[in-house]
Structure 1
Amino acid sequence: MARDTPVRTGTQSTTDEPLPNLVTIVGRGVPSSFEVTVDGEIEAASDDPVADGTIVSGSAAEGTLEVGITRLRFSGELATVNLVDWNGVPAPESESTPTVHVDYNVAQ
């Protein structure tokens, strides 16, 4: 049975301080999927990550992206990033998958 309201967990930091690190995923105009895992906390930097197509749970975030950007803040270290295009072809074999930028210790 499907839930009527999406459940978001891990979208708020346990402190008032923003998480120190930032992952920016940039779409290339082709529908793509992404998954990011960290060894600490992770949260969507957007006000409404579900509307942006991002689901955050525990220390992982996943979603879809075609154009624009998705930003995720996290603590700890980046563990994995998986990207696939609309055909399921993973990066780097597909030139259509989004690009990923990781910045450590950035102010909000």
Structure 2
Amino acid sequence: MQNRTDATATDSHLPNLVTIVGRGVPSNYELTVDGDLEMLADDPVAEGTVMAGGVAEGAIDVGVQRFRFSGRMANVRLVDWNGDEAPDSPSVPTVHVEYGAPNR
């Protein structure tokens, strides 16, 4: 697993994109894919993200975090600062999954 910040993550290797958008409330997320997963950040640890295989766990309150992946999205779990899960909490981040997303 590598972290990439440029266009070297080719469409054929990691053709899909997941974007997590914070809503201004501290929240935690876990996402799992059945393929390879790479965070689009210089330093995932600085972003508060732990990655292992096809799993990423992290925290977000504001801003955007993006990941490229191969395969299919297997699971997304979102929890707000109170421990309330989506869809029960309107404060958890939104998640957008785009299959076949061009590199940007």
- TM tier, shorter chain? 0.7 to 0.9
Superposed counterparts of 1:30-41, under 5 Å: 30-41=25-36
Gaps of 5+ in 2: none
Question: 2:97 aligns to what?
Answer: 102
Q: 1:17 Cα deviation (Å)?
A: 4.1
Moved segments of 4+, more than 6 Å = none
- Is the 8 Å Cα contact of residues 40 and 59 (structure 1) preserved in structure 2? yes
Q: 1:49 Cα deviation (Å)?
A: 1.2
* Aligned-residue RMSD, C-alpha: 1.3
- Is the 8 Å Cα contact of residues 33 and 54 (structure 2) preserved in structure 1? yes
Superposed counterparts of 1:1-108, under 5 Å: 10-12=1-3, 17-18=9-10, 19-108=14-103
TM-score with structure 1 length normalisation? Answer: 0.84
- Report which of the two structures shows the higher radius of gyration computed on alpha carbons: 1
TM-score with structure 2 length normalisation? Answer: 0.87
Q: 1:12 Cα deviation (Å)?
A: 4.3
Q: What do residues 39-73 of structure 1 show as CA deviations (whole Å, max 9, x unaligned)?
A: 10001011111111111101100100000011011
Q: 2: CA distance between counterparts of 1:11 and 1:100? A: 22
Aligned-pair identity in percent equals 58
- Is the 8 Å Cα contact of residues 15 and 100 (structure 2) preserved in structure 1? yes
